[in-house]
Each structure stands twice: as C-alpha cells, then as structure tokens.
Structure 1
Amino acid sequence: MDKKIEVDTLTVAKIRRISTFGLEVYFPEYDAEGFIHISEIPRKYERKLDERFVVGQILAVRIISVEKGEIFASIKRVERNEGKRKLREWKEEERAKEIIKMGIKNIGRIPVSEIDNIELEALKRYGSMAKMLENALEKGAEILTKIGIGEETALEIYRIAKRKIKKKEKEVKAILEITLYQPKGVEEIRRIILKGMERIKRKGYRGEAVTIGAPRYLIRVKGGKIKELNNLLEKTISYIEREVNGLGGVFKLVEKS
C-alpha cells in the first residue's frame, strides 16, 4: 500500500549501510530509502557509528526533508518516549500482518496479496491492523468478516491471534500525597493503604501500592473493565481520604489516570 512520506512524520527506519557520514536507511512503512546524516544522530553516538549501530537495526526517526526524491531523517529530533511508543506500535503492526498472512496461507482461499486490501480496510475502520485484531479478540472473529475476510479464514486468523497475542491487563492508577502529624504517622499511613488494598482484593481485583518518595504514594487497581476499575479506584481513594482526615492528617489527590 503506497503512502506519501512527509516532513515531520514520525516513522521507523531500517539501517542498510553505515558510513563515515551517517546511516543509509529504508523506511518500511513507505517503501522508500533515505539517509540520516551524522549531524542528526545524538552526539553520544557520533563517534564510531559502526560500534553504535548495526545493519538491520530498526530505529524511530523523524523525517526532516523530502526534496527531489531524496529523504533525510533525524534520530535526535525524536523524544525518547515517542520513539519507544512508535517502535512498539510498529512491532505490533508487523506481528498483526504476520498473523493475518499465516491465517490466509493456512486456509488458502484468498491470495496473500489481498493483505493490502485488508490493511486498507483495517486502517479505515480501526486505525491499524493491530487494533483490528485487538477488537477481534474482544468481540470475536465477526470483526474480521465485516471487512470482507471469508468466515473460514477469519476464524483461522482469530485462532492464531489468540495464541500469539497476550491480552494486556487493564489498570488504573492514582498518586496520593498523605501526611500524618503524629509519632507513628508512617505506620498509620501504611495501615490505611493496606486496608484499602484488602478492600480491592475482596472485590476480586488486584491492588498494588508503593511509596514513590514520601509523602507520595502510587496505588494501582488491575484486572477488569476500565469502568469497573475506575469506580473501585474512586472508592479506594475516598476511603483513604476519610481515614487520613479522621486522624487529622493532610490528603491530596495529585494525579489519576
């Protein structure tokens, strides 16, 4: 599937050749070649590029110039978190493509070349093939038949996806700031939080709590639907707040996500 590459696009690049002046790369998402000049590589990697990089390595890069068929990219203009996220998304998409190809080959009812049309429909409806498979795992193989995949092939893809894709456990979390002005304040805070975790466990979910530098505490609730987890987190926060206020302490909800 042809896509136009544009300036400021965040994409992935596969190293094809390492030279004194930079890296010759291939952009698999666009079926195009380009170059990363040494000036667009973080300074700590500038010296001895062949010791820092290897042919075949996949990098997250930002496109900085597209002129007369020549494409230039940058590593240092990619923030660490967005780079990690892009690489993860690309790996998930590649895995989804392999799963779909495998399902098509196993049944043999449609040519593997049809994957381009499947990808196009997946992008229209779900944003990516990885998200399409994620939806299929939650709602069933009919998600695949809705974009034109035959029932037998859809079931085979669904079975392979179930084997190869681990379902991510959903979680919600909050950062609390708690202070108790009494001799055994820390022990009291620990007792209150542990009771909050026990209440979560009794409801059939998993609760975790860690200190992230007093007076801040991170609490997590895992193991169910987001709506249920948020509801339980709210109740746990309210419980901890009541207990802290009852002991004359100071409670603050710093962040919830």
Structure 2
Amino acid sequence: MAQSYKQKQVVRYYMCDRTNKLTLSMLVNVLLEISGQQSALLNRGEDFVRAMGLSWIIIHYDFEISRLPKAEETVEIETIATEYNKLFTYRDFYVRDKNNEVIITVKTTFALMDLEKRKMARLPEIVIEPYQAEFSKRIRRNVKAQPVEKESASQKVFDVSYFDIDSNNHVNNSRYINWALESLDEAFLSNHTIKKGVISFEKEVKENETVTSYSNTYEEEELITTHHLSANGMTNCTATFVWDRNKKEG
C-alpha cells in the first residue's frame, strides 16, 4: 500500500497575495517541500537521486480548489505517491483545514531528469521502491491546457534572471506560474480566485532567455483563462484556469 505522509503548515503572510490568500506559486512550493520531507524520511532525498546523476522534475499539475487558505491559517497537507511506470510517477496532495475538510486537491506527474543529458531518464526501481506505489504499464493522459489565440491575447515579457534559476540549473516551476498569471491585469487578479486548473511544462527555460507570457480570457458557462509561455519560439509551458469571482466581505 502506498506510503502516506502528513504535515501541518502555517500559512504565513509572505506566502499570500494582497487579499491575504495563499498564492498558487507558494502553494506549489509548500507541496514540493512536503514531498521532499517524505523522500528524506524514506532515505530517497535529493542527495540520493543526485548521486545517481538525476533530479526530480514536474511535468504536470491538476488543481481542484474549493478555497485557498488565508494568512496565519493552519492546514494539514497529505501526500501519496500513488502509481508509477517506466517514465513517470504520480503523486497526489490533499490540503485540509482545521475541520479536516479537503479544501485543495492537487494531482501531479513527476519524472526524473538526467542532469548531464538534460533529458528524462527511466525510473530506477531502487528510487521508487520505498514509496510502495503501484506499478502500472499505462501512461496517464493528463488533461491538456486549452490553446491560446495569440492574435487576441494579452501578453507580457519577462527576462530570466539569476534568481529565477534553481538547483537543477533551470527556472523553478513556481516562476512559470507567476509569469502565466502576471499577464492578467491587477483588477482581474484582485477580484477572482482560481477554483481549478491544469499546468503542463513542456521545455525548460534557461538563464538569460526572454519569456513571453500570452493569455486569453473567456466567459461562457465558466470564467476561463488560457496561458502560453514561450522563449526562442519554443513552447515552454501551457495552462488553463477556471475562476470564481470573490465574494464581497461584510
């Protein structure tokens, strides 16, 4: 049976936006920290995989959010590595409030990158075994982001700087999330909250590159934004988010 790991987390003010809600990029950082803690307890931390010339990378996120926790709220985060195949492992996260209600569910797809070749590597059994995840030959078909119509899209340009680069020598995936969302205007971001979304990472962005963030906004049955990040003519990241309008307090 797959190993579950739980950890309490206090949402600090620096993790939140101007509405005092946890940001999506900070949520991702916290989730990855929790998964890293589980790996360390199983003696499969970053040092272990790096000794094999490998490092974990994220391929895909799928979010379901009933609400984002607020500053100084304490939540419990649970993570389970549920399944794997020769290339990918699938890890689920559940964020619960003080009433033990699940307020956020995140399903992720991880892979291992060969640090020298900068390509995905097969998953060694010695790395995966302690998590007790189920092996399956099938490769999941993740939900794809909707396409962006660049001709009508809002866009913003970002220069990749030294502090955007993580220990894998590429842009940290939380930066992609901020770049995608920052193509939306302040009024939209202040008055809306993400309730679900998907993010796919296609190609790594490197230092000194210039990233263009495109986004479209649609409102039919739901309010939707679609996002496309590109550098040097390549697709680096795609995303789609579904939004709720914030309720006025008081």
TM over 0.5: no
Between structures 1 and 2, the one with greater strand share: 2
Q: Which one has more relative contact order, counting CA pairs under 8 Å at least 6 apart?
A: 2
Bigger share in helix: 1
- Aligning the two structures, in what range does the TM-score lie when normalised by the shorter sequence? under 0.3
TM-score by length of 1: 0.22
Larger radius of gyration: 1
TM-score (norm 2): 0.22
